[in-house]
Amino acid sequence: MKASLLAFLQFFPGAAGTDEYLKMEATLSAFENCLQTADAKRLKGSSPMLMEFLTPIFHIFSDLIVKMTPSSSISPTGPSEDRSVYEQIRDLERQVALFEGKLQESQRCFDSIISSLASNIESTVSCVNDLKSSMEHNTDTLASLPATIAKPSYAQVASLPANVSNFTIAPPPSEKILLVRPLESKADSSTTRNKITSFLLNKNLPFRITRIKNINNDGIAICLTTDEDVNKLSQELSKNADFASFSVSKPTLRKPQFILFGVNSSYNKDSITKALLLKNDIFKDGGLEVNFSMKSKSSNNWVISVNPYLYPVIKDHGHLYLNFERVRMETFISVMQCSTCGSLGHTRNHCPNTQACIRCSSTDDHDRTSCNPRCINCTTQNARFRSGFPENHGCRDKNCPALIQFRKRTIDRTDYGR
């Protein structure tokens, strides 16, 4: 039997030496040994004992035939039920193949995403390392700085370029003025002021008066906000018999002025007037007035007034002739400032105050080269109008807010002929 089965296996190409062949040979040898034992007669009549050996042999032959035979040759040819089972098996195989393809595609997508994330992570790690290096460098730089910054010395501060104040000055309110002067010399400015104040209080007139100030010739200047108020107040005063002995008028604008630089000291007021009228045809009809001179190191600077209609012509021309020389000139803004107390609006000839320091405005005897500067004009403006001007400068500082405001008012009250 063993020899017959082994001979049958030779018909399958490549069967010899396979696992199935070796299992078959081992099983047949064991079956043959059992038949040759003393209990062979008992085994021959026992079907279960035979099935223990024949069943494995059947399975080995079945597996070998399926493995060695193409799938197309083992298609079922039996009943329709077997064919249905076979078709289900084939459908399952196709579904398994389809899922394997999808699994491979998903694997490729997953690998691509992992690769992209890996590159982004590498870039992020590089940025973090750069940031860490920069922070370490900044930390080292800060650590190398001194713990405290030394206060600069006076010489170091003095060597720095001067800082010009950058504050802005609010434009002063536009004032309209009415002048009231007594025709007789019996009354003074105080008397005129008291009389005007009583009249306004009794009449309860709806005029907005900003201030009343004393002026020359024992008069007063009433400052209002609009031209309409000026006209109405002028009419009320003119109709009242109590003010028949007073002149009521509007102020006239100032004439424009020029300053002539470097005039020979030999000139006086009369000689310089004649020289200007002789050599400048623009003054052939008059319109010139020589005001005063200011001394310089080797010459004098003269201030002149001209008629408003002549100002644009002289300004555009740029110079005047004085005998046989051409004189340089500029527009002059006359600012009255007292040389005794430093206040604006009057000169030392009409100053009621004592001598004061031009730096700190103090009247005490002290070293005036090292005192702390304090401007008397800005202090007065802040106290009266709450202007908010800085006060830590001298009263003659060209950047003084009060001085700039005073110059602006002077320009507004000057007729420049344009």
- Contact between 330 and 314 (Cβ < 8 Å): no
Q: What is the model's pLDDT at position 214?
A: 85
Residue 30, pLDDT above cutoff 80: no
What digits encode the pLDDT tens for the residues 243-273? Answer: 888 889 988 888 999 999 999 999 999 999 9
Q: Which residue has the tokens 């003010």?
A: 243
Model confidence band, residue 141 (pLDDT cutoffs 50, 70, 90)? confident
Q: Which residue has the higher pLDDT, 288 or 207?
A: 288
Q: Residue 380: name the closest of 365, 409, 400 by CA.
A: 400
Q: Which of 5-14, 22-31, 123-132, 305-314 has the lowest mean pLDDT?
A: 5-14
CA angle 190, 195, 201 (to 5 degrees): 125
Per the structure block, which two tokens stand in for 91?
């459908």
Alpha-carbon span 52 to 40, nearest angstrom: 15
Q: Which residue has the higher pLDDT, 396 or 73?
A: 396
Report, as an integer, the average pLDDT of 234-246: 88
Q: Which residue has the higher pLDDT, 300 or 166?
A: 300
Percent helix / strand / coil, the chain, rounded to 5: 50, 15, 35
Q: Which of 41-55, 80-94, 385-399 has the lowest mean pLDDT?
A: 41-55
Per the structure block, which two tokens stand in for 154?
């006076």
- Contact between 257 and 411 (Cβ < 8 Å): no
Q: What is the model's pLDDT at position 38?
A: 42
Q: Which residue has the higher pLDDT, 170 or 322?
A: 322
Report, as an integer, the average pLDDT of 60-69: 51
Residue 111, pLDDT above cutoff 70: yes
Paired residues of 263 in beta bridges:
300
Work out the mean pLDDT of the chain and round it to a whole number.
Answer: 78
Model confidence band, residue 73 (pLDDT cutoffs 50, 70, 90)? very low
Q: What is the model's pLDDT at position 255?
A: 92
Q: Which residue has the higher pLDDT, 104 or 394?
A: 394
Q: Residue 263: name the closest of 281, 276, 277 by CA.
A: 276
Residue 179, pLDDT above cutoff 50: yes
Report, as an integer, the average pLDDT of 17-40: 57
Q: Which sign, positive or negative, has the C-alpha torsion 76, 78, 84, 85?
A: negative
Q: What is the model's pLDDT at position 36?
A: 55
Q: Which of 105-119, 337-351, 360-374, 382-396 has the lowest mean pLDDT?
A: 105-119
Q: Residue 378: name the closest of 366, 363, 365, 388 by CA.
A: 388
Residue 223, pLDDT above cutoff 80: yes
Q: What is the model's pLDDT at position 71?
A: 44
- Contact between 232 and 207 (Cβ < 8 Å): yes
- Contact between 306 and 287 (Cβ < 8 Å): yes
